[in-house]
Amino acid sequence: MSIEAPIEKLTLFILTIFDYKIDKSGVEKNINFIVKYKLYHLAFWFAYHYFWWALSSGSIIETMNNIFFSVYSTKFVFYVVFQAFGVYFNLYFLIPKFLKTGKYLIYIPLFITTILVTAFCIIGGYFVNAYVVGVSFEELFFMPPENFMDLFKGNALPSTAASMTLAMSIKLTKNWIASERRRNTIEKEKLETELKFLRSQFNPHFLFNTINSIFVLIHKNQDMASESLAKFSELLRYQLYQCNEPYIALNQELEYLKNYIELEKLRQDSNNLTLQFDIEESTPTSLKIAPFILIPFVENAFKHISHHQESPNWIRMNLKVENNQLKFNISNSTNTFQISTNKDTSGIGLNNVKRRLELLYPQAHSLEVYKDNSQFKVELALKLEEFELIKSKHA
């Protein structure tokens, strides 16, 4: 957040208190002028020295009187001007040139020297103050001039060191906040870009597999191919129009999953294949899920199912939701050759969905993958959120 907004609010508040009549465009023009020339720094320095003096004297009213209506006004001006000069010299020259470049052995002595020189310049203000009001230094400050080091150690040096430290703290805090905002923005943009890339990588992969399945059915059974094409059009409609948001209704994703399974069933050889898909029907309508999170697991099961001639080939899936916790288990029989080659049979789709789970559900999912000589099994537990919660997170 820039400093313009707080300044505008403060200015409007002050104008309201004093019933100052000015149009909004005039206020904005004055605020822009103040911000452009950093005149709000004057208010900061006045407030800092006022409270420092009030803390030393123990009286707010007496401090106000000393600043505006006493013989000590010149000394106050020296405090404001020279400490501001020392602070800006440190912030805009020493820090960028030496501290940010890692030249600490040069920066530290120069920083200390700046504090000492600034404090000695302020002490000069005491002597100028006595000359301006036309009285002796001893009469004005109740000590002989040769004891000016008492003022240096008791007033000028502590006040200067405190102002330098405070200004550095404000500047470094402001830089840290700006850096964190930039980092969060870059990380958010990187996350969104990576998710879009993963989805775009998955979609052509799915389309290729489905079109290939329909192509096989055209030569085997034209009626089944026609039915498959109808199912395929429903899947495309969902993919193109219904899942463009980061999260969609869980019921929509499950309906898409069922259509995909039905499409795959049409092209499978059912003579030596057992398919068991149990999907809980009574899922809460308010739950949301990232689109295409579940389909790669089902696609992977069909893609890598075994093709034994003398032993059963099977796919078993179970999906249910309990207390906003989605539990998804799917397993398929595998060929011994697939395991013995020791190659990753997960494919592009499964690798992508693992990455998407890490990005979209950090600390909110559990994924286990098992392989052996007879089966490939996936167990997914996913903590789902209500629509309102997710909407507020990604607003």
**pLDDT for the residue numbered 112:** 93
Of 13 and 157, the structure prediction assigns the larger pLDDT to: 157
Closest CA to 123 of 75, 180, 91, 195: 75
**pLDDT for the residue numbered 80:** 81
The continuous run of DSSP H or E covering 139 comes out as helix 137-141
**Confidence band of 349 (pLDDT split at 50, 70, 90):** low
Q: Which two tokens stand for residue 279?
A: 């999907």
* DSSP line for 146-182: GGHHHHIIIIIHHHHHHHHHHHHHHHHHHHHHHHHHH
The continuous run of DSSP H or E covering 248 comes out as strand 248-249
Q: Evaluate whether 90 touches 167 at the Cβ level (below 8 Å).
A: yes
Q: Which residues, 6 or more positions from 349, have their beta carbon under 8 angstroms from its beta carbon?
A: 202, 205, 206, 295, 296, 299, 300
The position carrying tokens 């200390």 is: 112
**Confidence band of 227 (pLDDT split at 50, 70, 90):** confident
Reported as a single tens digit per residue, the pLDDT across 81-115 is 888 888 889 888 998 888 888 888 999 999 999 99
Q: How many CB atoms lie within 10 A of CB 15?
A: 14
With H, G, I as helix, E, B as strand and everything else as coil, classify residue 385.
strand
Q: Which two tokens stand for residue 35?
A: 């911000």
- pTM for the model stands at 0.51
Reported as a single tens digit per residue, the pLDDT across 270-298 is 677 888 989 887 777 789 998 888 888 98
Q: What is the b/e burial string over 316-355, where b = at least 16 CB atoms within 10 angstroms of the residue's CB? A: bbebebeeeebebbbbbbbbeeebeeeeebbeebbebbbe
Q: What is the b/e burial string over 138-154, where b = at least 16 CB atoms within 10 angstroms of the residue's CB? A: eebbeeeeeebeebbee
**pLDDT for the residue numbered 15:** 44
Of 364 and 271, the structure prediction assigns the larger pLDDT to: 364
The position carrying tokens 């099961």 is: 301
Of 367 and 236, the structure prediction assigns the larger pLDDT to: 367
Q: Is the pLDDT of residue 13 over 60?
A: no
Q: How many CB atoms lie within 10 A of CB 270?
A: 9
Q: Evaluate whether 263 touches 232 at the Cβ level (below 8 Å).
A: yes
**pLDDT for the residue numbered 178:** 84
